[in-house]
């Protein structure tokens, strides 16, 4: 439960961020818990995240502003591990460095600035610009379908701190207007709710053939999935070594065959 000081401070900050939202940022507290805030970062121009819809949470401690919030981004971005606490100077990883004068807007501006940099920390991942642009094109679909876990009944199973599998229920409850816009966008662009891919114009939604990927939403060749299911810990992009083996499997196979033939010849020439 929030302390009186935290409640008063967060109420005042909500009013301020409504009246003067920072560029590319909107945020509000949950109706049921003022310590749980939900934000949307819109990817700024001249970045791989341009026009992406990045949803996340700030979980404030009861003694805020004398301690910082836990920061998570739930939407897969190719920059952060989804639904994973981020180690930033403005997050709960560094309570001693937090300045009580910093506000919600300060925290989110700092998060957006860090996102558009290449600095690495706990909770961040490496990806190419092409992979991040591919993830950007799927952000609306991911938010409103829970990463493809949406069903016709509209029901899903939510587990833990906002993960794929809830059918987009948590996003829909916090951002109902954005959710309606996202579904309209998916209908207009014939996005398959189950896969996030552009459907073949010759088939109808729900068809077993309604999964032909569109060029704009196709994962870059040779890359690992970064916008599917949310992961706990671990990398959302596959390990570099495993990716190299996959891309160069023919070369590896040739080297194995060559080594086998060479050893056989050496053994055959022996006494």
pLDDT tops 90 at residue 270: no
Question: 156-176 b/e with 16+ CB inside 10 Å = b?
Answer: bebeebbbbbbbbbbbbebbe
* pLDDT tens-digit map of 39-87: 999 999 999 999 999 999 999 999 999 999 999 999 999 999 999 999 9
pLDDT at 20: 95
How many CA within 13 A on the CB side of residue 187? Answer: 6
Tell me which of 212 and 29 has the higher pLDDT.
29
Specify the pTM. Answer: 0.76
Query: Which one of 3.40.1410.10, 3.10.110.10, 3.30.1360.120, 3.40.640.10 gives the CATH number of domain 1-238?
Result: 3.10.110.10
Strands (E), the chain: 25-30, 33-42, 53-59, 70-73
Q: For residue 210, name the pLDDT band (cuts at 50, 70, 90).
A: very low
Task: Report the distance separating Cα 189 and Cα 21, nearest Å.
Answer: 30
Instruction: Give the pLDDT score at 89.
Output: 93
The pLDDT confidence band at residue 245, using thresholds 50, 70 and 90, is: very low
Instruction: Return the active site residues.
Output: 87
* CA gap 168, 93 in Å, rounded: 28
Average pLDDT of the segment spanning 22-34: 97
Q: At what angle are helices 4-19 and 104-115 packed, to 10 degrees?
A: 60
Q: What pLDDT is recorded for position 235?
A: 33
Given this model, what pLDDT does residue 23 score? 97
């Amino acid at each position: 439960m929030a302390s009186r000081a935290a409640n008063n401070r967060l109420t005042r900050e909500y009013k301020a961020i409504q009246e003067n939202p920072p560029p590319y940022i909107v945020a509000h507290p949950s109706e049921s818990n003022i310590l749980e805030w939900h934000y949307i970062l819109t990817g700024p121009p001249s970045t791989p995240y341009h026009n992406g819809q990045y949803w996340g949470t700030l979980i404030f401690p009861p003694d805020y502003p004398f301690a910082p919030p836990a920061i998570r981004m739930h939407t897969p971005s190719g920059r952060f591990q989804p639904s994973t606490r981020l180690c930033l100077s403005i997050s709960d990883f560094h309570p001693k460095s937090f300045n009580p004068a910093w506000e919600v807007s300060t925290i989110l501006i700092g998060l957006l600035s860090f996102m558009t940099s290449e600095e690495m920390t706990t909770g961040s991942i490496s990806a190419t610009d092409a992979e991040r642009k591919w993830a950007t094109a799927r952000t609306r679909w991911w938010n409103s379908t829970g990463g493809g876990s949406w069903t016709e009944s509209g029901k899903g199973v939510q587990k833990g701190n906002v993960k794929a599998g809830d059918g987009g229920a948590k996003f829909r409850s916090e951002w109902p207007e954005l959710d309606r816009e996202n579904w309209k966008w998916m209908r207009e662009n014939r996005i398959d709710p189950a896969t996030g891919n552009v459907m073949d114009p010759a088939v109808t939604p729900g068809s077993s053939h309604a999964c032909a990927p569109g060029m704009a939403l196709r994962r870059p060749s040779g890359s690992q999935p970064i916008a599917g299911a949310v992961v706990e810990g671990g990398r959302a992009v596959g390990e570099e070594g495993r990716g190299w083996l996959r891309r160069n499997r023919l070369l590896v196979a040739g080297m194995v065959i060559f080594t086998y033939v060479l050893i056989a010849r050496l053994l055959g020439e022996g006494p």
